[in-house]
Amino acid sequence: MYNIFQQPWLLLALSFVLLVIVYIIRTSFPEKQKSWHLILPVLIIVLALGLDYLVKTDHEKVQTTLEDIVTATLNRDVNTIDKLIAEDYSDRHHPNKQSIMELCKIVVKIHNIKSMTITSQDITVEGKKANAEMLVRLRMHDSNSAIPAPEWNYAKVKLFLNKQPDKSWQIKSTELVEVNKQPVSWKRAY
């Protein structure tokens, strides 16, 4: 189903069609010209852009959560990462939030990430649960180790999120799917 709160294009197209209809009526029947006829398409445009700006859908909130986790990782902000992870977090390798937070602290301390970009994402929201699969491109700083590491790395991650009572979204579980197009799991990653 098309969501006008998420995509304003339907209302913008409707305003364009209405503008064409108003133009045809004004040129065909000059005696019926009213100044408010031209205001209708403008009002619909303002409505479309206003709805898009003011109403944040669950899909957009999940997308913001994903962007926030990437930004926090890049900035080495463990406190923000902690706020984005649910208290009841668990996955196959990390039984609780404390264990994943320990890993996060190690990752931001050891790995020298220069840039991190979400190259693709697929978000599915169903009620109070959301699934997201994203491919992240990581650019690492030059390492001083004797073993050369690739400058660019790609990681595909599945995230499972839950809607909180305050209407925010937190990460309930994650699954590391692949790194540099090679299948991997949490156990093999660390």
User: For the segment 35-90, what is each residue's pLDDT rounded down to a tens digit?
Assistant: 777 788 888 888 878 877 787 888 899 999 999 999 999 888 999 999 999 999 99
Domain-embedded: residue 2? no
d(CA 37, CA 26) in angstroms, rounded, equals 9
pLDDT per position as a tens digit, 83-131: 999 999 998 888 999 999 998 888 888 777 888 889 999 999 999 999 9
Contacts of 34 (CB under 8 A, 6+ apart): none
Q: Give me the phi and psi of 101, to 5 degrees please.
A: -70, -35
Among 127, 152, 155, which residue's Cα sits nearest to residue 142?
152
Residue 19 lies in a domain: yes
Residue 18 in any domain: the answer is yes
Query: What is the distance between the alpha carbons of residues 132 and 102, in angstroms, rounded to a whole number?
Result: 23
Identify whether the C-beta of residue 140 lies closer than 8 Å to the C-beta of residue 153.
yes
Task: Kindly state the helix (H) or strand (E) to which residue 183 belongs, with its residue range.
Answer: strand 182-183
> Does the residue 97 lie in any domain?
yes
Residue pair 176/186 in contact (Cβ under 8 Å)? The answer is yes
Q: How many residues does the chain have?
A: 190
Distance CA 169, CA 124 (A): 13
> Model-level pTM greater than 0.85?
no
- Domain span holding position 29: 9-54
Report strand pairing: 129-140 vs 152-163.
antiparallel
Domain co-membership, 27 together with 116: no
Rounded to whole angstroms, how far apart are CA atoms 5 and 64? 16
Number of domains in the chain: 2
